Chain A
Amino acid sequence: MKKEFYNIAKLVTKNAKILDVGCGNGELMKYITENISKDIRGIELSKSNVQKCVEKGLTVIEGDAEKDLEQFPDSSFDFVILSQTLQAFLDPENVLNELLRIGKKAIVSIPNFGHWKVRLHLLLKGTMPVTENLPNEWFDTPNLHMCTIKDFENYCRERNIKINLKNLKFQNLFSELGIFILEK
């Protein structure tokens, strides 16, 4: 399992009620089910990933996070997880609002466009950055709304969304990934 998932799993509490939005093949959900909380379910768009979740015995709803979060009541989950998909939504602002409505807390991770490798790539090569974490070319990337950790921090501050973030300058330069706990 990737390191990011261990870091996310550390943030959820024992037996909490959790929704994993864009749960992929269910790897994180499986780990959380077996180690932290059985009360977890996922939403996933890809049909083949949904099948993989069912194979693992996980509760998964095939659906689109941009449309299908509205069916969940306010504060119906202790944690809502969104791992590295925010930047791929057509309307990330709406998705974030929904996450904060249905979850008491939202755990959101984003690939950091402010990482020094990304900055250096653009500065020296003059082409769109392609890194380990951002492997796509400009024409086939699913990422519509790239941002930096600093952008995301600004976004949350302007909207009075509580965010746990220390050493903003350092993280914005040296973290490939930002993982945040957000609260309304």
Chain B
Amino acid sequence: MFEKNKIKTLLVKKPLKLDCGQIISNFPLAYETYGKLNDKKNNAILVFHALTGDQFASGTNPITKKDGWWNYALGPDKAIDTNKYFVIAANVIGGCMGSFGPSNINPETKKPYGTNFPVITINDMVNAQYSLLEHFEVEKLFCVIGGSMGGMQVLQFVSNFPNKAHTAIPIACTASHSAQNIALNELGRQSIMADSNWQDGFYEEQNKQPDKGLAVARMAAHITYLSKAGLQEKFGRKLQERDDLKFSFDADFQIESYLRYQGSVFVDRFDANSYLYITRAMDYFDLTKKFEGNLSKAFEKSDTKFFIISFTSDWLYPTSENREIVIALNSIGKNVGFVEITSDKGHDSFLLDVPDFLNTVRNFLNKSYEKI
């Protein structure tokens, strides 16, 4: 699918017991780093990516040749300043940018795993990435940060490893995936599975790609990442390179054309099975489950300073759900800050040029770093 030599990989030898019961070992974890680890090894930040992200958070992604997904926030002199901090970003297991995922070859069958790949969870993703701390000999991270599914990984990380991060910044996320979000993910999965090229997940060995299904999944999801006001302002009822309606099912409207484009470019860089597995992991995410519904208990042992950020126009992971995390932390007296950023860019705000957001992250990081 792509040039493997541009991808750094850590071979995780230690067996990892997945939530589904299977044990995996000797599996690849693809990662990228930015900046330099200092002598005290106290400037490391672990960045967790969202559903369709990867380890190439900054600069140019060498595989897709596009900008890294967090270019606005991460890089030299940016909010997460790589002149100052050492940033580690990994591709989640289940993903398709070099980490152990459904497109990997199953050594037993010599064919891609497809849907024989084990169902993974956010907990599994985080446990796999913990190996990077050992690899870089970082005793304690300065910060764990991520938005959306990346934020869920932040929460899971602090819960699993309560003394391994000085600070944590979960952004635009939730501690428990809502019915609405499960429903939206199911819509995407059914769209992929309805594509006859999907072949029950074994499309690669038949040289087929469920591109149409994956593109529709992406189109539907993309709508959920934007706000109604943002869409209206950007597209309204503007027509696509035409003066009047064509009385057909062409993309008359700019918004239609835009969504079709988003769908078509997505299939070039993303694997349909990975989309199934990662959305499943998000749906299974409920940090309260292990603690009889009491989210506070997930953080009881933690000594991490939290800073939670939400966006006014995010209806996918709304402020109310982010606030529940704040409430859970306050109710056990943990150190937590919370900011809701005004933005009409919807859930995607954390990926975009939203100055209030970027300044907030920069200030929190720099002021917190002075104190460690």
Chain A residues within 8 Å of B, Cβ to Cβ: 41, 47, 50-51, 54-57, 59-63, 71-73, 76
Contacts and interface: CB of A to CB of B under 8 A. Distances in A.
A72 B296 CA distance: 12
B300 interface: no
A57 B370 contact: yes
A76 B367 contact: no
B330 A61 contact: yes
Contact of A76 (B333, B335, B341): B333
Given A54-B360, A57-B371, A71-B327, A47 B340 contact: yes
A57 B337 contact: no
Contact of A60 (B331, B333, B337): B337
Contacts of B331: 71-73
Q: Which 7 A-B pairs have the closest CB atoms?
A: A57-B367, A71-B327, A61-B338, A71-B330, A54-B363, A59-B337, A55-B363
A63 B337 CA distance: 10
Contacts of B333: 73, 76
A62 B339 contact: yes
Nearest to B332: A73
Interface of B: 305, 323, 326-327, 330-333, 335-342, 356, 359-360, 363-364, 367-368, 370-371
Contacts, number: 55
Contact of B342 (A47, A54, A60, A71): A47
B323 to A, nearest CB: 8
A50 B323 CA distance: 15
Contacts of A62: 338-340
Given A57-B363, A71-B330, A51 B337 contact: no
Contacts of B337: 41, 54, 59-61
B321 to A, nearest CB: 15
Given A51-B356, A51-B359, A54-B360, A59 B339 contact: no
A63 B339 CA distance: 9
Given A47-B341, A47-B356, A57-B371, 12 more contacts: A51-B360, A54-B363, A55-B367, A57-B363, A57-B370, A59-B305, A59-B337, A60-B337, A71-B327, A71-B330, A71-B331, A72-B331
Contacts of A41: 335, 337
A57 B366 CA distance: 8
Nearest to A48: B356
A26 to B, nearest CB: 11
B60 to A, nearest CB: 31
Nearest to A61: B338
Contacts of A55: 359, 363, 367
B336 A61 contact: yes
